[in-house]
Structure 1
Amino acid sequence: MKSKLLLSLLALTLAGTAAAQVKPEDAIKFRQSGYAFMSWNMQRIKANVEGQYNKDEVIKAATAIQAIANSGMGALYLPGTDHGKGWEETRVKPELFTNKEGVGKVAGAFVKEANEMAKVAAAGDAAASKEQFGKLSGTCKGCHDDFKIKK
């Protein structure tokens, strides 16, 4: 029991140290890359639920989105990353760094719906996948509306 606790504490310490060593511009790049990859996978699902449905494509895309949702990307919103440039200027609103309750709510909803999307996709029902995709997309919109600067 003590060794498990010690290993858990060590893992948390190392994870915290690794996040602390990320340069702000790299953190912005990493999160921009994650969201770009997620966007591509959202487009893959959309094309399938609005066109010729391919269960395998939807499963692949939903699994990728689920992985991103559960990856801990929140750790990339370090102090000093509310402005600056990664691949491009960040468009995060300052409220993301001050409204912890609001961020927690939208992040939790996204993770929930991403996990459900992967589950629904695996079942292979096109209509259910389309319905769940709508719910998942809604969580993205909610975050964009509240925490992303429009172009």
Structure 2
Amino acid sequence: MKSQLAIALALSAVTTAALAGPIEEQIRFRQSAYSFLGWNTAKIKAQAVDHPETFNKDQVIAAANAIAAAANSGILEQLYGPGTDQGTGWKPTRLKPEYFQKQAEVKELEATFIKEANELQKVADDGDVADIKAQFGKLGASCKSCHDLIRVRE
């Protein structure tokens, strides 16, 4: 719980700085936040899906806690300021301009992501690899749904 608070506070500080800065900074912060999520999901995928023989419960719990903390922080949606569908952060943004017209759908997908992240956190704490793998698939599906709606494919 202490690590979740630290992650949420760090994300909050980053978001405050991002919203105050130029569009390019906002895009960089958003790209960094999703890289952080991707790094943690990759740890779970490697240990629960691809190579369960390497499963380390403590590492999977830490990754699931980080994902849930970011999901529940309320910060991610703040990284989509007006104009951030154009420009370059670390690389060109992949946010579709339609994002700003699809807020109801985005909110619904966000709620699903939060629900699945919280469930992954619970399942990871129990430590059953098969359950983690199944819940990880649900989390991944929630991510894909959002990508399909608002993210330009590379």
TM-score, normalising length: structure 2 = 0.83
Q: Which residue of structure 2 aligns with residue 28 of structure 1?
A: 27
Q: Which residue of structure 2 aligns with residue 121 of structure 1?
A: 124
- Tell me the distance in 2 between the aligned counterparts of 1:108 and 1:125: 25
Where do 1:1-151 residues align within 5 Å? 20-50=19-49, 51=51, 52=53, 53-71=55-73, 72-151=75-154
- Count of matched residue pairs: 136
Which one has the largest radius of gyration? 1
8 Å contact 2:19–2:26 — kept in the other structure? no
- Tell me the distance in 2 between the aligned counterparts of 1:19 and 1:30: 6
- Aligned-residue offset at 1:70: 1.8
The residue identity in structure 2 corresponding to 1:117 is L
Unaligned runs of 5+ in 2: 1-14
- Secondary structure of the 1:88 match is coil
Q: Aligned-residue CA RMSD in angstroms?
A: 1.6
- Aligned-residue offset at 1:19: 6.3
- Tell me the distance in 2 between the aligned counterparts of 1:21 and 1:70: 22
Q: Which residue of structure 2 aligns with residue 13 of structure 1?
A: none
- Tell me the distance in 2 between the aligned counterparts of 1:142 and 1:17: 27
Aligned structure 1 segments of 4 or more residues deviating by more than 3 angstroms: 16-20
- Tell me the distance in 2 between the aligned counterparts of 1:19 and 1:34: 11
The residue identity in structure 2 corresponding to 1:26 is E
- Aligned-residue offset at 1:102: 0.8
Against the structure 1 CA distance between its residues 145 and 17, is the aligned structure 2 distance closer, same or farther, given a 3 Å change threshold?
closer
- Aligned-residue offset at 1:23: 2.0
Farther-moved stretch of structure 1 (65-74 vs 114-123): 65-74
